[in-house]
Structure 1
């Protein structure tokens, strides 16, 4: 999955319009980055990548790039 596809997935998870997020977007700047979005991200990561994201991991995410980098590992 490309970086652009990961960003699109995050926009979908956060119910944002296409193009609202960039790699440099700070997650805390978006009220949509809430507990429901975090649970949706956990589900999508498991479904799309077979990756389990833990609560400790989510607490470390500051930017969209942090999530994309985590999904690359």
Structure 2
């Protein structure tokens, strides 16, 4: 199965272009994970810290940092980190 990774220029945090690695680092920070734990193909169900509080934090981060509004249904649909990256693009 091919992993789709949005182009680097598609991530904009408050007007600043971000790479996918910078975006993943921000997701790791939001989920209170060590740097380098996540990759685009990481299955979120395999991440112990990805619980209901982490999902709420992700919703807040998406709105605060990317001006993206995630509903709980959108967050529930995420299977991999790449799904989050696509939603943030």
| TM-score normalised according to structure 2 size | 0.77
- Structure-1 separation of matches of 2:31 and 2:65: 16
Deviation at 1:13, TM superposition (A): 1.4
- Cα deviation 1:4-61 (Å, max 9, x = unaligned): 1110011111111110100000000011001111111111110111110001101110
Equivalenced residue count is 72
Name segments (4+ residues, structure 1) moved above 2 Å: none
Which one has the bigger helix percentage? 1
Describe how 1:1-73 pairs up with structure 2 within 5 A: 1-72=18-89
Give the superposed CA RMSD: 0.8
Structure 2 runs not aligned, ≥5 long:
1-17
Structure 1 runs not aligned, ≥5 long:
none
| TM-score normalised according to structure 1 size | 0.93
Which one has the bigger strand percentage? 2
Select the structure of larger CA radius of gyration. 2
